[in-house]
Amino acid sequence: MAQQVQQQADRHSPLGLTEEDLLAMHRTMVTARLCDEAQFRLNRQGKAPFVVPVSGHEGCQVATAWPMQRGKDVFVPYYRDMAVCLVAGMTPKDVFLGVFGKADDPSSGGRQMPAHWGSRRLGIITGSSPIATQIPHASGIAYAMKYRGQDAIVGCWFGDGATSEGDWHEALNFAGVHDLPIVFVIENNLYAISVPLSKQAGVSDLSIRAEGYGFTGQSVDGNDVFACYRAMFEAVDRARSGGGPTLIECRTYRFHPHTSDDDDRTYRTREEVEEARKRDPILQFEAYLQQSGVTSEDKIEALRGELKEEVDRAVDEAWNAPDPEPDTALRHVFAEEG
């Protein structure tokens, strides 16, 4: 082990990440994974009508959300971005208030579907269900920031399927024309529900599309936390210092079906999923943490137990929280009298 400690190249210090940062990032990734496992259990118990899994994407989500400044920058996530929202400041209880559609759900007070993240307080912009509609909003927000001379940037996340939408191309073109302070992050998990990437795009390297809009693009291994962090850190720095937009493609994989309503056996072999699980970003990160002496197998095991209890408590608290009052069902839909 001591020998392994010496052999492990230091990947975090050159990026300005401390051991405390690494442990906090790890904690967030494991929390997201455990929330995912809990929401699937609740779905099978009939308590959670619809869930959108994050498992497999935690590494690229945490790594790309990390360089953003909380309370200052604006997060424009899509439905799969539970871990992005945990980095932005949401809690497991917030996640489950949304899953159960409770009155205190920070995203919409139980009016939106689960996983339609939003919080004015945390600077998370609420998205709608049609794919890619948040991306022109993100460019518009970045335009407003630049116009007002604000010291802030926008991070905008979406899947590979979103890059086939007109909204996506319009938003990137607008960002390139106006040199906006924005970072676009593709979480390329190779499928838009059942449609494989080869049927979505004539290129296999989605980041090269940035060139068509006049800015930089980069593809990285989405299971490699350090590669994702580095790409985002540089992109955030570029955006903040007036250097304009960046497109980052994180190559990742989702371990579960698209949602709790999908049966992925119809379009992916079990062997393919098992192969992808061997590249689990959390396991790879944990291997690094152990080999560089930041933590140990025992401590990881203890942390999982602690976080599992935290997530179970969040589930109970959210389940026991009040439902929205039925007579408020039309609030924010029609103007109210008086």
For binding to ligand TPP (CB under 6 A), which residues are involved?
Answer: 80, 129-131, 158-162, 187, 189, 191-193, 258
Identify which of residues 138 and 289 has a Cβ nearer to ligand TPP in the complex. Answer: 138
| Least distance (Å) between residue 327 CB and ligand TPP | 30
3-state secondary structure of 158: strand
In order, the DSSP letters of 227-259 are HHHHHHHHHHHHHHTT---EEEEEE---SS-SS
Q: Are 48 and 318 in contact (CB under 8 A)?
A: no
Identify which of residues 129 and 328 has a Cβ nearer to ligand TPP in the complex. Answer: 129
Q: Which of 164, 161, 226 is nearest to 188 (CA)?
A: 161
- Closest residue to ligand TPP: CB criterion: 159
Nearest 5°: CA angle at 284, between 280 and 285? 115
Identify which of residues 56 and 181 has a Cβ nearer to ligand TPP in the complex. Answer: 56
Identify which of residues 87 and 190 has a Cβ nearer to ligand TPP in the complex. Answer: 190
| Least distance (Å) between residue 194 CB and ligand TPP | 9
Identify which of residues 64 and 290 has a Cβ nearer to ligand TPP in the complex. Answer: 64
Q: Which of 173, 337, 164, 195 is nearest to 264 (CA)?
A: 195
Instruction: Round to whole Å and give the CA distance between 209 and 273.
Output: 28
| Least distance (Å) between residue 225 CB and ligand TPP | 19
Rounded to the nearest 10°, the torsion over CA 96, 221, 191, 94 is 10
| Least distance (Å) between residue 98 CB and ligand TPP | 17
Identify which of residues 181 and 222 has a Cβ nearer to ligand TPP in the complex. Answer: 222
Instruction: Round to whole Å and give the CA distance between 58 and 307.
Output: 15
Instruction: Round to whole Å and give the CA distance between 294 and 158.
Output: 32
Identify which of residues 160 and 234 has a Cβ nearer to ligand TPP in the complex. Answer: 160
| Least distance (Å) between residue 129 CB and ligand TPP | 5
Classify burial at 127, counting beta carbons within 10 Å of its beta carbon; exposed 0-12, middle 13-18, buried 19 or more: buried
- Helix segments in the chain, DSSP class H: 2-7, 19-44, 58-65, 82-88, 92-99, 134-148, 166-177, 225-240, 270-277, 281-291, 297-319
